A = this chain, B = another copy of it.
Amino acid sequence: MRILGVDPGLTRCGLGTIEASPTRQVTLVDMRVARSSPTMAPHKRLLMIADELEEVITTFKPQVIAVERVFAQANVRSVTGTAQVAGIVMLAAARHDLPLGLHTPSEVKAAVTGSGRADKAQVQKMVQRILGMETLPRPADAADSLAIAITQAWRGGAQSLSAQPDRTQHGGADTLPRATGSDLTPAQKLWASAERLSSRHGAVAPGYHKHERNEP
């Protein structure tokens, strides 16, 4: 399954595409960052990012799009821009009739590092390891978008636009079966040990083991 992970942002928007096998092995397909300058008009910035996103979708044909769920932070202005970009990514998923997954930053960190409070460097390091990349994925926005795609591959929870009736869409469904038994890939072993670690330390965000809920 081809997954596009998006780390939304107005100045830098990470776009990471991976391929996930039925056994949950993940490989890198493409990694890029759409950029727009703060000197540009805001709607023109959104258009630049929307155009680059469109190119990624038509070139790599993802079957699901996963986006970081935006929450309010200290900087209100940056949150607004981030939410606007998240909105255009979600709209693109809907226009292409693709299922959408939403994951909070702490869910993503927990999925790839085992801790919901991991820093950017830890996330970069684990993304490099999980995808078997020769160098660290840079910039951090690109690494984050890949981490979001990996979270989608391992945790699922995408909401389908057309396959499910509206009323049952809240629960979502894992897009890939959970790995069990002894035939684990290295990435799965990393994941399993991260999961053990995180439940032991209680570092995983509340609701992390539950399916995503996407109420307004």
Contacts and interface: CB of A to CB of B under 8 A. Distances in A.
A216 B71 contact: no
B169 A41 contact: yes
Question: In the complex, which of the residues A43, A76, A214 has the most CB atoms of chain B within 10 Å of its own CB atom?
Answer: A43
Given A80-B83, A81-B216, A91-B47, A102 B42 contact: yes
A176 B81 CA distance: 28
A70 interface: yes
Contact of A85 (B11, B79, B87): B87
Q: How many residues of A sit at the interface, in one of the four size bands?
A: 35 or more
Interface in A22-50: 37-47, 50
Given A38-B216, A71-B80, A81-B216, A43 B166 contact: no
A112 interface: no
How many copies altogether? 2
Given A76-B72, A79-B83, A91-B88, A166 B40 contact: yes
A39 B166 contact: yes
Interface in A140-184: 159-161, 166-167, 169-170
Contacts of A72: 72, 76, 79-80
Contacts of A201: none
A102 B50 CA distance: 20
A94 B46 contact: yes
A215 B47 contact: no
Contact of A87 (B40, B46, B76): B46
A130 to B, nearest CB: 27
A93 interface: yes
Question: In the complex, which of the residues A44, A88, A102 has the most CB atoms of chain B within 10 Å of its own CB atom?
Answer: A44
Closest 6 CB pairs of A and B: A84-B87, A83-B83, A47-B94, A87-B87, A43-B90, A43-B94
23 contacts: A11-B216, A39-B169, A39-B170, A40-B166, A40-B169, A41-B161, A41-B166, A41-B169, A42-B90, A43-B100, A44-B166, A46-B87, A47-B95, A71-B76, A72-B80, A78-B216, A81-B216, A83-B83, A84-B84, A84-B90, A85-B87, A86-B87, A87-B87
